[in-house]
């Protein structure tokens, strides 16, 4: 009985060495430290990085200024102001568009709840994760920073909807590229010098 008590109160040599087991095992394994930023490892396809405001295939914006993303954000990092489209200033199909769109990356936790709340799939997340800047104001991204670049076949907004279509046609995927009428309208607007930058 006394021998058992001695073993419990005074650990032997084996017990002392066993405590270093993890240390000894990891001393001889290969290090897994990533050499960032010299070697940048690609992210997984579904990684939640910087946000992007998407466009329809003809170039009109998908954002309708509904503010659901701002309501869904648990960190209160998104600010949206909607405005009405007009025939001279049409930025999205339908009645409204997002006139002001800001994401404050000092507050954003990149959770993706805003993506789930968006009814038009206007807001998605990219694989870009290097969100640094020289000042705090540089981490508040404006609409011009978030809006996707026009792809081939697109005409940047503002311009009319594709002739003979409604907003339902856009959401159903029936508009696949900019029509000749939209391109003509955008070229005529560019030659008059009215770029529509003030929104």
The CATH topology of domain 51-191 is Alpha-Beta Plaits (3.30.70)
Structure tokens of 7?
A: 């073993």
Residue 194 has pLDDT above 70, yes or no: no
- What is the predicted pLDDT for the residue at 199? 43
Judge contact between 140 and 106, C-beta under 8 A.
yes
Residue 7 has pLDDT above 60, yes or no: no
Average pLDDT estimate for 37-57? 92
Segment 95-107, tens digit of pLDDT: 999 999 999 999 9
Least confident range from 13-27, 77-91, 173-187: namely 13-27
Segment 113-155, tens digit of pLDDT: 999 999 999 999 999 999 887 888 889 999 999 999 999 999 9
Model confidence at 6, pLDDT cuts 50, 70, 90, reads low
Segment 145-183, tens digit of pLDDT: 999 999 999 999 999 999 999 999 999 999 999 999 999
DSSP states of 11-58 as a string? --HHHHHHTTHHHHHHHTSPP----TTTSPPPPPTT---SEEE-B-TT
- How many CB atoms lie under 10 A from the CB of residue 148? 15
- What is the predicted pLDDT for the residue at 37? 86
Residue 89 has pLDDT above 60, yes or no: yes
- Measure the CA–CA gap between 60 and 170, rounded to whole angstroms: 10
Q: Which residue has the tokens 């010098």?
A: 193
């Amino acid at each position: 009985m006394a021998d058992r008590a001695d073993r419990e109160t005074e650990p032997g040599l084996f017990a002392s060495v066993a405590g270093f087991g993890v240390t000894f095992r990891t001393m001889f394994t290969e290090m897994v430290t990533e050499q960032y930023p010299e070697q940048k490892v690609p992210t997984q396809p579904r990684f939640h990085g910087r946000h992007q405001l998407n466009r329809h295939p003809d170039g009109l914006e998908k954002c309708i200024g509904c503010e659901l993303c701002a309501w869904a954000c648990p960190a209160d990092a998104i600010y949206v102001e909607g405005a009405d489209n007009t025939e001279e200033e049409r930025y999205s199909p339908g009645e409204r568009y997002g006139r002001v769109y800001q994401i404050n990356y000092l507050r954003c936790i990149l959770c993706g709840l805003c993506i789930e709340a968006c009814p038009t799939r206007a807001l998605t997340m990219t694989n870009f994760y290097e969100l640094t800047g020289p000042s705090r104001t540089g981490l508040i991204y404006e609409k011009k920073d978030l809006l996707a670049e026009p792809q081939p076949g697109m005409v940047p907004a503002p311009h009319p909807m594709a002739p003979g279509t409604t907003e339902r046609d856009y959401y159903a995927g029936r508009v696949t590229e900019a029509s000749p009428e939209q391109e003509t309208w955008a070229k005529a607007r560019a030659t008059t010098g009215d770029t529509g930058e003030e929104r």
